[in-house]
Amino acid sequence: MDKIENITKLLSDRRKELGMEQADMYMRIGMKQQQYQRIEAGSDIKLSTLLRVLEGLDLELSITPKNKSKHLQQTKLENIDSIQSLEDDTDDLDFWFGSEDNK
Domain CATH for 12:
1.10.260.40
In a domain, 61, yes or no: no
Lowest mean pLDDT among 4-8, 37-41, 44-48, 99-103: 99-103
Is the overall model pTM greater than 0.75, yes or no?
no
Residues 9 and 46 in one domain: yes
Q: Which domain holds residue 29?
A: 4-56
pLDDT of residue 41: 93
Residues 47 and 72 in one domain: no
Residues 29 and 48 in one domain: yes
Distances in Å between the Cα of 89 and the Cα atoms of 30, 76, 92 are: 52, 20, 5
DSSP-derived 3-state class of residue 3: coil
Residues 72 and 44 in one domain: no
Residue 19, Ramachandran bin (φ over 0: left; ψ between -120 and 50: alpha; else beta): left
Residues 82 and 48 in one domain: no
User: How do residues 56-90 score in pLDDT, each as one tens digit?
Assistant: 999 999 887 777 667 777 788 888 888 888 777 77
Query: How many domains, in total, are found in the chain?
Result: 2
Contacts 24+ apart (CB under 8 A), 86-93: none
